[in-house]
Each structure stands twice: as structure tokens, then as C-alpha cells.
């Protein structure tokens, strides 16, 4: 059971991503950008915000929000348009560094899995780069199993590193 009193885990709404709030999210995302497939760039922030708002309609998004309305964690499920792939979805997750190791990542995953299951998704997949010990442990601890490995898939601080593919049946 998630018990961090000042944090609420819930579905995201458009109001969570006003210009001011998005700047706060963009700032902490930039701090963890080495591990993300998404690359924040200050000059593209507003474009990224608009694109993200549009994606909220199609990609299930769960957020961890402080009592004063700041998003300090975010988890998204990406679904394919193909009806042949409608039973699976890919997950992406990030938590603001000052909130790490408090159970927020786990709580976000559990919430998104619960909603995904209720919507008929039977399997969630995740891609994590090999040097990302925190994410590797998070997924393993939450029942995700390694299904594959793509060699030299990702440029991590100038070195080409492998990507580990995880899957979990709900
Ligand atoms: C991965 C991430 C989302 C974890 O979020 P979190 O809120 O700290 O996760 P939790 O507190 O629920 O931790 C769950 C488990 O993950 C593992 N873990 C989390 N952080 C870890 C770290 N720094 N080192 C080793 N294991 C770690 C532990 O097994 C932990 O359980 P424990 O605290 O009981 O030992 C967070 O570190 C993050 O945002 N990283 C940057 C972005 C990123 O890598 N996203 C994933 C891309 S695929």
C-alpha cells in the first residue's frame, strides 16, 4: 500500500500541464535525461508541451502529484494503432530525483497496471538501458521479466549501450 501522505497517485489531467507546471516537470526531466529516450531541449519546451498535451488523449498517463499540485512523477502507456497489437502497451516512467526511493515509481507502475488491465491490456512491455540500475531493479521487483536484449541500441553519455527488453503479463 502506498503511504506517502503528501503525494497523490492518479490519472493525469490537462491542468497538470499548464506552462508553469510543465516548466517544473521539464526541469527535473532534464536532470534524468541521460536515461530517457525523450531529450528535453529548453528551446523546444513549449512545442514539447503541446505535443505532450495532445498525447494525453491516446496515451494513458498517471502522475504523482504533491499537495500543492506539482507533478513529481509520471508514467505513460503507449499503445499501438494496430488492432493486432491492442492487447499490449509500452510503459515509460520517470520520478523527480529529490523524490526517488520513496516508493513513488512502484506506486505509479501499480496504478497504471490496474487501469491498463481494466481496459483489456494483458501485457506491458518496458525498455531499459543496461546502465540504468534503478529502473532495472524497479521493473524486476515489480514482476517484469527480461525477454530480450538489443545490442548497442542507445547512446549513453557517448557510449553505445544495450537495451534490455522487459515484459509483464497482467
Ligand atoms: C527508475 C525510477 C523511476 C525509480 O523511481 P523510484 O520512485 O525511486 O522507485 P521506488 O522508490 O518505487 O523503488 C522501487 C525499487 O527500485 C529499485 N531502485 C530504485 N532506485 C534505485 C537506485 N538508485 N539504485 C538501485 N535500485 C533502485 C529498488 O529495488 C527499489 O526498491 P527498494 O527501495 O525497496 O530497494 C527513478 O529512478 C527515475 O525516474 N529514474 C530516471 C528516469 C528513468 O530511468 N526512467 C526509466 C526509463 S526506462
Rounded Cα distance, 45 and 51, in Å: 10
Of all protein residues, the one whose alpha carbon is nearest to atom 29 of ligand 1 is 137
How many residues are recorded in the chain? Answer: 170
Residue 164 placed within a domain: no
In a domain, 128, yes or no: no
- Answer yes or no: is the C-beta of 64 below 6 A from any ligand 1 atom: no
Q: What is the DSSP letter of 101?
A: T
First to last CA, the chain: 18
Q: What is the DSSP letter of 81?
A: S
Number of domains in the chain: 1
Domain that residue 19 falls in: 7-122
Query: Would you state the pLDDT for residue 1?
Result: 45
**Residue 79 pLDDT greater than 60, yes or no:** yes
Q: Is the CB of 156 under 6 A from ligand 1?
A: no
- pLDDT at residue number 3: 56
147 found inside a domain: no
Ligand 1 and 103: CB distance under 6 A: yes
What pLDDT, in 10s, does the model give residues 112-146?
A: 999 999 999 999 999 999 999 999 999 999 999 99
Amino acid at each position: 500500500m502506498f503511504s506517502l501522505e503528501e503525494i497523490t497517485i492518479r490519472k493525469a489531467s490537462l491542468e497538470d500541464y499548464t506552462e508553469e507546471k510543465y516548466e517544473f516537470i521539464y526541469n527535473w526531466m532534464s536532470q534524468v535525461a541521460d536515461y530517457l529516450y525523450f531529450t528535453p531541449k529548453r528551446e523546444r519546451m513549449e512545442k514539447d508541451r503541446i505535443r505532450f498535451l495532445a498525447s494525453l488523449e491516446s496515451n494513458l498517463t498517471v502522475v504523482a502529484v504533491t499537495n500543492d499540485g506539482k507533478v513529481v512523477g509520471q508514467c505513460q502507456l503507449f499503445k499501438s494503432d494496430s488492432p493486432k497489437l491492442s492487447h499490449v502497451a509500452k510503459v515509460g516512467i520517470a520520478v523527480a530525483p529529490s523524490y526517488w526511493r520513496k516508493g513513488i515509481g512502484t506506486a505509479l507502475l501499480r496504478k497504471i497496471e490496474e487501469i491498463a488491465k481494466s481496459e483489456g491490456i494483458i501485457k506491458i512491455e518496458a525498455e531499459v538501458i543496461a546502465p540504468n540500475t534503478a529502473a532495472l531493479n524497479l521493473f524486476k521487483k515489480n514482476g517484469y521479466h527480461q525477454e530480450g536484449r538489443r545490442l548497442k541500441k542507445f547512446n549513453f553519455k557517448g557510449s553505445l549501450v544495450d537495451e534490455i527488453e522487459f515484459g509483464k503479463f497482467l
